[in-house]
Structure 1
Amino acid sequence: MLERDLIRDLINVIDSYAENGGDKLAYHYGNQTNTYMDLKHYSDALAKHIDQMQLPKDSPIMVFGGKDFAMIATFIAVVKSGHAYIPVDIDSPTERLTLINEIAKPAAVIAVEALPVDLGGLPVISKKELAAIFSERISYQVTHAVSGNQTFYIIFTSGTTGVPKGVEISYNNLMSFVKWLVGNDFHLPAQLQMLQQPAYSFDLSVMSLYPTLFKGGTLHVLSKKITDNFLVLFTTLPTLPINVWVSTPSFVNICLLEPTFDAKHYPSLNYFLFCGEELTVRTAKMLKKKFPKAHVFNTYGPTEATVAMTQIEITDEILEEFDRLPIGYVKDGMHARIIDDQGNPVSDGTQGELEIYGTSVSKGYLNNPEKTSQAFLTHNGQPAYKTGDVATMRQDGLLRYYGRKDFQVKINGYRVELEDVAILVSKGKYVKQCVVVPKYNAQHQVSMLIAYIVPNKNRFNNELDLTAAIKSDLKASMMSYMIPQKIVYRKSLPLSNNGKVDIKSVISEVNLR
């Protein structure tokens, strides 16, 4: 049955669960539940409405909102109508929303939640209009859904000079990932009950979203309000009948602080999938102690390679063998090699930059040929991507990760380019000059971002008040995870021999032990 399903179209498979008993539960969010029949009705009605708008062929559509069921119904509708969707989270600053609009040039915006800014004459389906459309019951034939190498979704990541980059993921990219996740490398339960924790604008959300819908399972969704309130979080989590956990290691670290987060209180939870940042030996050992029979998987992959492309199950033997956990073996259809600064392959076990190529690699950055040409290339006739990650590859193909080649880091699972943050901080009226650096913990993870600032003359009596003012201004221009947690003030910043700010020396100063 599985092999036959894998060659079928994703949308047809999802719709089939409505046709074969539409009361099957697809989505559980707060006190609301929605079925596969709801998903089909909502997405059919919206897809027909989008068709009637006669938007330019293949043009993307922005979807703005949070975690409501209407978000995924909208995603499916957009794809049914032959367009790619761009998920933009409700917590995004208005400046980011405006930038994404300028870069992506979407044909329309679907406001699952009210837009905080006018996007200048762009067709908008409002929250009220969307509710009216979803209430319709119409007959819709899916004849021109996104397929093949057409773009399925576009995730905007951080980008240099403060400008985000839109990673285009095709239908073929996505299906290569979905087939892998529900296949023999993971052996997930037949009836998926998956945790859905990250925002839909974060590509880790795809790890739970489409594999679950493809298999006819149920997504159990946490809002940011729940995850930000530990009391509510630990009251909510035990009520969810999840059997597969998907999150960053940072999120499970929070949960491991709760004494009742264990196999006794979560009897169905037997699979943990981690991505987005480094899984440490310490976290894996704590988790296996609390869930001794669970399967714990470490995965790795940049957004440009469709969520993840390597995996390894973290067994007791792996924990004994490695002091820093490997990121695993590449999936079918993908390949990896380690290269030096000149682009030449290096020998087994030698550190170098990880270059990947194959079926999961994105076609590039939306409307950004310069950045696309810098990061994407062709190798052995297949699309390739230079990750910027330092890694080694054992003779048997096992990959190990050793951090970033450049000044891009991950904090709480989010990819952040330090230059981006520094540029945005430097725009503040109280800042004359700035550099932003990471502070690492003993597990090689970024524990915080620290801004070194040369301040402008100001009216504040102390540094505490100045810091509060700078951080208040930053809330309007960047996501909360990008805002430096600590600010250090200096009369000047160190310079390298070429006259540029010596960021490496600042990083060394911050991380001296």
Structure 2
Amino acid sequence: MMTLSEVFDKIAATYPDKDAVHDASGTLTYRELHRRATAVAAALRAWGVSPGDPVGVYGQASRDSIVAMLGTAFAGASYVPVDPGYPDDHSRWMLTTAGAGLVLLTDGHRPETDLGRATRHVRDAANDEKSARPADTPDDVLYTMFTSGSSGTPKPVAVPHRGILGLLRSSPFTVGPDDGVLAMATLAFDTSALEIWCSLLAGATVFCVRASAASLRTLADALADPRITVAHPSPAIFALLVDHHLDALAGLRLVTSGGDVMSITHATRLRSAHPGVRVVNTYGPTEAGVISSAYEVARWDAAECATMPIGFPVAGAELHVVNENLSPVPDGTPGELVIGGDRLALGYAGEPELTARRFVTAVGTTVYRTGDRVRRLSTGALEFLGRLDDEVKVRGYRVNPAESRAVLAADPQVAEAVVVPVGEPGARSLLGFVRTTGPVDVADLRSRAWTRAPRHVVPDDIVVVQAFPTGPTGKVDHRALVTRWERERAAEVALPTETDAAELTRLWTKLAGRPPEPDRDFFHSGGTSLGLIRLIEEISTRFGVELDFAEVYGLRSFDELFDLVRAEGAGS
């Protein structure tokens, strides 16, 4: 097996003048992308980066970011993607944990504070098309990404070149030179590797549009572009697109969705409306190279399985269902899913004990213990039955409530914290309950939490309680906490809808989780980026007003949103 750099060399030589990457600022051909990445590799060596060193890439999906990541690979180094939306303290911790001594900045993204290590802008690299390239192997680290941990600390997963190159093998999501692939995931989420590398290493064109920084209509407009033929939205975004912009998906050849439970209702609705679109449910942890199994929605039979199966092994993955002793169980018997094959991660960077616990020898080979409970159906496909631990998917991210609880408990005003997942699979959110040392402003508490962790880790709603109810064993009764929250929330949401202001209030309350308060923005009311996308879409449907995501994102209160809706409505 070759390295990513070697495969890209061949693709760039085969399609030098073909468009490789397109974003809002323009387009790079494969020749231009190769040249710029080579320049970055030379600059990295001049800046003191040696083969094997981790390099931070601070940015979102764009031409600059892809140049930075490819240039890092050309230098024989590995990249550590850092989302500019993360708090600077969290970004510093990630870079320190991964061992990155240099950070490449991209586009206009700059941290608000010093990240504690050297920073260079990717465009500072001078042209150097003849730079020598160090030798590397398929076992060298390509990137390090962080996933949630039960200890309250994210885990740095070291993924080698072979972990991604294996995805180029024949599989339901293979793309080719005639495809255009929409890249909408944050670089810190491993779906970005599927969107970017599986496209560029096959001669396809990558179109960069980041979902969390765009309205649903912006995504729909992008998907309606005839040049785009493939998309990999998260299940939550997939459901919203089917609900509100079904026709925008009509021109696609392939839609895959993974990272959470796929909605059967939305998958079958898309198939019914547009039979020519292939819809594939995918599954795979970061530790096993993004995608380990896949299932064609067209094969789903309700008589066989009430949920959408996660399917069959793909791209060299080996899937086994085992008991607590790591011995295989009979078909139809629930057990833990373990994954083998040649695409496994190298482990957790700097965490040998944790690596030894999760990457073990079983069924005659090295496997990764996923912690997912599954059973094998009579067809051989796997059905997902939930987690063996408390980990849940929140907007496609793996989050352990213990990590979320640790973020809340770190606040000096919090004496005790409990975090409970709520909602149906595919639409999970986190609900935080805190006992405080005195009076506290919940909005300020959430704002402080946002400075310590990414927003998907911070509970969507935080409730102050005087004491935690306990069950017969003395443990906190989570069900009692959630029941009380649901009762109080239902009372808050019961609002009149006779006027436009009341209707907008109702939408805000439904999607943020609590009614508007003076000088509190959507996020301080409990809302999320996905919720804001839904709010903008609801406003478009109810009021006929098209709002820009970036403009709404920066509004400081409900009153400002109401004024904007009224002004846009009058203008149109």
State the TM-score, normalizing by the size of structure 2. 0.79
1:199 equivalenced with 2:186 (yes/no): yes
Instruction: Report the counterpart of residue 147 of structure 1 in structure 2.
Output: 137
CA displacement at 1:169 relative to structure 2: 0.7
Structure 2 counterpart SS, 1:216: coil
Query: For the residues of structure 2 that align with 1:79 and 1:412, how far apart are their CA atoms?
Result: 29
Contact 1:234 1:258 (C-alpha < 8 Å) held by counterparts: no
Q: 2:96 aligned to 102, 105, 122, which one?
A: 102
Instruction: Report the counterpart of residue 409 of structure 1 in structure 2.
Output: 392
Q: Which moved more, 1:305-314 or 1:481-490?
A: 481-490
Q: 2:123 aligned to 124, 127, 131, which one?
A: 131
CA displacement at 1:321 relative to structure 2: 4.0
Instruction: Report the counterpart of residue 427 of structure 1 in structure 2.
Output: 410
Distance 1:495 1:344, change over 3 A: farther
Runs of 4+ in 1 over 6 A off after TM superposition: 507-512
Structure 1 counterpart SS, 2:466: coil
Structure 2 counterpart SS, 1:273: strand
Instruction: Report the counterpart of residue 19 of structure 2 in structure 1.
Output: 25
Letter in 1 for 2:433: Y
Structure 1 counterpart SS, 2:238: helix
Contact 2:327 2:363 (C-alpha < 8 Å) held by counterparts: no
Structure 2 counterpart SS, 1:50: helix
Contiguous gaps of at least 5 residues in structure 1: 1-6, 461-465
CA displacement at 1:307 relative to structure 2: 0.4
Contact 1:17 1:37 (C-alpha < 8 Å) held by counterparts: no
Query: For the residues of structure 2 that align with 1:381 and 1:507, how far apart are their CA atoms?
Result: 44
Query: For the residues of structure 1 that align with 2:148 and 2:346, how far apart are their CA atoms?
Result: 17
Contact 1:27 1:33 (C-alpha < 8 Å) held by counterparts: yes
Aligned-residue sequence identity (percent) comes to 25
Contact 1:270 1:291 (C-alpha < 8 Å) held by counterparts: no
Distance 1:475 1:103, change over 3 A: same
1:367 equivalenced with 2:350 (yes/no): yes
Query: For the residues of structure 1 that align with 2:479 and 2:322, how far apart are their CA atoms?
Result: 23
Deviations 1:38-72 (A, max 9, x none): 21111111111222344344221111112221111
CA displacement at 1:382 relative to structure 2: 3.2
Q: 1:268 aligned to 251, 265, 273, which one?
A: 251
Query: For the residues of structure 1 that align with 2:198 and 2:218, how far apart are their CA atoms?
Result: 27
Contact 2:359 2:366 (C-alpha < 8 Å) held by counterparts: yes
**Aligned ranges 1:339-488 → 2 under 5 Å:** 339-380=322-363, 382-394=365-377, 396-441=379-424, 444-458=425-439, 466-488=441-463
Query: For the residues of structure 2 that align with 1:403 and 1:274, how far apart are their CA atoms?
Result: 17
**Aligned ranges 1:25-174 → 2 under 5 Å:** 25-112=19-106, 113-120=109-116, 122-125=117-120, 127=121, 130-133=122-125, 135-144=126-135, 146-174=136-164
1:12 equivalenced with 2:6 (yes/no): yes
Contiguous gaps of at least 5 residues in structure 2: 488-572
Letter in 2 for 1:253: A
Query: For the residues of structure 1 that align with 2:290 and 2:481, how far apart are their CA atoms?
Result: 32
Instruction: Report the counterpart of residue 236 of structure 2 in structure 1.
Output: 250
Contact 2:183 2:209 (C-alpha < 8 Å) held by counterparts: yes
CA displacement at 1:251 relative to structure 2: 0.9
Query: For the residues of structure 2 that align with 1:511 and 1:369, how far apart are their CA atoms?
Result: 43
CA displacement at 1:20 relative to structure 2: 4.2
Query: For the residues of structure 1 that align with 2:176 and 2:37, how far apart are their CA atoms?
Result: 27
Query: For the residues of structure 1 that align with 2:147 and 2:252, how far apart are their CA atoms?
Result: 31
State the TM-score, normalizing by the size of structure 1. 0.87
CA displacement at 1:473 relative to structure 2: 1.6
Deviations 1:164-206 (A, max 9, x none): 2110111122211232xxx254464551211111011100111
Letter in 2 for 1:387: T
Contact 1:153 1:169 (C-alpha < 8 Å) held by counterparts: yes
CA displacement at 1:22 relative to structure 2: 2.7
Q: Which moved more, 1:230-239 or 1:346-355?
A: 230-239
Query: For the residues of structure 1 that align with 2:267 and 2:154, how far apart are their CA atoms?
Result: 33
Query: For the residues of structure 2 that align with 1:483 and 1:501, how far apart are their CA atoms?
Result: 20
Structure 2 counterpart SS, 1:255: helix
Aligned length: 486
Distance 1:389 1:313, change over 3 A: same
Instruction: Report the counterpart of residue 3 of structure 1 in structure 2.
Output: none
Letter in 1 for 2:251: S
CA displacement at 1:403 relative to structure 2: 1.0
User: Cα RMSD (Å) of the superposition?
Assistant: 2.6
CA displacement at 1:502 relative to structure 2: 5.4
Structure 2 counterpart SS, 1:480: coil
